[in-house]
Chain A
Amino acid sequence: MIPLSHILLLSVILFTLGAAGFIIRRNVITVFMCIELMLNAVNLAFIAFARRLPGLDGQLFVFFVIVVAAAEAAVGLAIIVALYRNRNSLAIDDVDSMKL
């Protein structure tokens, strides 16, 4: 059988990569995709734990997370489209009309 720690490590690596991407990427869409990567890491953790614990609850949580991710994607991409209409750019550095 696959050790739980290996699955969790995979999950943590994906989560960290997503978080790192969130910080270093500059394109809004890529940044958003990094968030999706993080959510997937969470899902993997849920599935891994669901394997170890009695009951299917962990699998159901993944189901809910996927639904939420879909809702978030719809709204997020709409926001990004509106951003592009206003500025003709997707670079996150350009989102700076308000400064200290």
Chain B
Amino acid sequence: MASLPPKHRLESSASEASSAGHDEHHYRPGGLMRWVLTTNHKEIGTLYLIFSLTMFLIGGVFALVVRAELFQPGLQLVQPEFFNQMTTMHGLIMVFGAVMPAFVGLANWMVPLQIGAPDMALPRLNNFSFWLLPIAFTLMLSTLFMPGGAPNFGWTFYAPLSTTYAPPSTTFFILSLHIAGISSILGAINIIATILNLRAPGMRLMDMTLFVWTWLITAFLLIAVMPVLAGVVTMMLMDINFGTSFFNAGGGGDPVLFQHLFWFFGHPEVYIMILPAFGIVSVIIPTFARKRLFGYASMVYATASIAILSFLVWAHHMFVVGLPLVAELFFMYSTMLIAVPTGVKVFNWITTLFRGSISFEPAMLFAIAFVVLFTIGGFSGLMLAISPADFQYHDTYFVVAHFHYVLVPGAVFSIMAGVYYWLPKWTGHYPHLRLSQWHFWLSMIGVNLTFFPMHFSGLAGMPRRIPDYSLQFADFNMLSSIGAFMFGFSQLLFVVIVIMCVRGGKKAPAKAWDGAEDLEWTVPSPAPLHTFEHPPQYRPVEH
């Protein structure tokens, strides 16, 4: 392997006799109750990841219902009202049930390992915040069986369609969002408390890996915007059940206020779903390029810069709602500026590759695909920022293509990259190489076949969220549907690979990848239940 300077050195602190309280802590119930009551960050991380994968598959089934209906023009399989429920549930489940919990799961597993902490700072809270999620999403999915059906107003639930004109199940939807929101907030508090207080002695903030950094910033974003979401849905609840008029023009309210509030939460939310992805890719690329991350400091600053800008751009989701000219210009300029720090990140990843020593393990394949396809999503994002052009793009499949490019080959690919990267650490086995490669290429082709044609159908004039379309969009929709089924079914392969990897496979050493330099690779593979019980002494690289 390429000879690298040791990035840091660990000195095990002198072993100490374990105290009585220590022993007590190690008492564990067996069987199912072990998982229900666990306070161990690794087990909770696993629970989060399993939950997320389940939601990913359920949300995926909803997406396939949508794509099946859109395979051909005309109504064949479902009626419009059910179609709307499917698009809505797909969005809600994927955003709040799949992507966010997956990142929290990865954080649970990897943040303590990467900063040399024995566990999360608040282990019991950690257990609680996980178990809120199944409750929230059982409630949300149960709305499908309620009279009047599930929420059908899109994952952005614009008032008054989601208040005055909403199905009766909306109250349960609001409750489930509240619960999921509390779970996210508690998770974020835990992560902040862990990162700020439990770093190994000698590890300063600027010594942390990019994954930990991006999660720290993400957690602050969560703390800042999840309460706003809670506020918005509370106002909806009051409009629906208590006769207030926050969003009802007839009572002196304003439906557009809903959109301002929603996107004040919603835009930072978008970055909540992509910043940890930046972090994962920023630890994977250096590993498989066997070269230090280029511009570490700039990466941290760019992350912070994106997070701050995310609070100043929300109204670019509302360019056609009738904003005054000055507001339109302000949000156009601020949105365009986001391209700068985002560009810095992409350039840094590529320069990290430049003159490296690159190998293409499955994790690296997903990370490379992330960089390319996320950048394509970034380009369409830049086009969408140009307000006059957005008058044509807005609410068309061009937008659908854009945000799926940043969320599927963006966020989802980064999660898969992270799973392939850390599976040896979690299970002690390497994932099956051939099958992983198959999974990558099928996903890669499927995802592009699904979402690339959407750029064209959108530009040609196909609005989003329609169950049926005019004939000129037929060809592109057929391609998208074929791609969607290809992508969807290849994820079953992913499930198989993960199960196989848990049960066996090629044994992995503590340092599973020869370019991997972070702290987690110093503990054995699979990582024992308790790691870093005595804090390692961290020695930073000399800069």
A, B from the same assembly: no
B-side residues, CB < 8 A to A, are: none
